[in-house]
Every structure is written in structure tokens, then in C-alpha cells.
Amino acid sequence: MKGLLSHMKMTRPVPWILAASMLAAHFGLIHAGEDEAVDYFEKHVRPLLVEHCYECHSESEKIKGGLRLDSRQGWISGGDSGKAIEPGAPEKSLLLEAIAYSNPDLEMPPRGKLPASKIAHIEHWIRMGAADPRDGDVSESADEAIDLDEGRQFWSFRPISLPPAPKNTNEGWAFNLI
């Protein structure tokens, strides 16, 4: 009996160790896939965005269409036309629609269509999940800054005044002025 009991105690940790090592391997593979996607972004997508998009869609310049492409949060938030990128679904991504010139009302960059190879890089990146290592909040653009005169009209900035009390239409209802 002692031999069986000690055998059970010895084999009990094996499933836990096996499960832990499988989980570690699984998350290692996921992380490796993320690294590959980030490398693809850094090698193919970021240079393309810098060359063709940042002139009109970055914090350093006047932001057109309300869309910022110089940060992850910028393309997640989207612009005046909506969300720019739908990770994993290039057919639903406005950015790809614009650079492919598939919508005559939405053609970017305005100076001319990108080569097919560059469009393919963007499409592949979106299909991979649109990995983007750029963190940070999107700062408020100059177009969204508050107008001081308009801000002074907000109710909490107006001077205190004593408005007239409403007229009572039913004299028998009120017992006092308050």
C-alpha cells in the first residue's frame, strides 16, 4: 500500500508540469507571431505611411479628414469618414479602399495611386491583424481646440443672475412663495 501511495504522489505533478509547459509553448508561439507582424509593419508599412500619408495625416502637419495615421490610436479612432482600418478584414478597411482607388470619392494619396506592390503590403498587413507597436494617446488636433469666446458662453462661466420665478396658474395649490 505504501508503494502505491508514494507512486501516486510522485506522478501527480506530471500533468501539471506538462500543462504548464504546453501553455508556455503556446504563448511563446503567439508572441513570435506578434513579433513577425510587428517586423512586417516596421519593414513595409511604416515607411510607406511616412512617405505617402504623414504629410496630411500626422500630428506634425495639419490633419486632414480628421484622420491620424502616425499612431495606433489614430487609425483605430478613424477620421471624418469612419474607422480607417478593420484588423483582419481588408475588405472592410477604408484605408485600403482609399489607396486602391476603388471609390472615386475617396482616393488617397491625391497625387496619384500607389504601386500595386505597396497596396499589397498594406492589404497583407491588415489581413495579418494590423499589428502596430506605436503606443500613446492621440493628442487633440488644432481643429478640435476650443474657441475661447464659445467657451465663455458655457453656463458655468456666465455671471450669476436671479431669474424671475414662474407664474403659478393654480392659486389654491401653493401655500407659500417657496
Residue 157 in domain: no
Residue 19 in domain: no
Residue 164 in domain: no
Residue 11 in domain: no
Residue 100 in domain: yes
Query: What domain range includes position 71?
Result: 41-136
- Bridge partners, residue 106, by sequence: 103
Lowest mean pLDDT among 2-11, 13-22, 78-87: 2-11
**Closest to 125 (Cα-Cα) out of 6, 45, 12:** 45
- Mean pLDDT value across the chain: 78
Q: What total number of domains does the chain contain?
A: 1
User: What's the pLDDT at 173?
Assistant: 76
What percent of the chain is modeled with pLDDT above 90? 4
Residue 22 in domain: no
Mean local confidence (pLDDT), 147-165: 85
Residue 110 has pLDDT above 70, yes or no: yes
Q: Which amino acid is at 102?
A: S
Grid look-up 511604416 returns 46
Confidence of residue 120 (pLDDT cuts 50, 70, 90): very high
Residue 161 in domain: no
Handedness of CA 32, 34, 37, 42 (dihedral sign): negative
Residue 55 in domain: yes
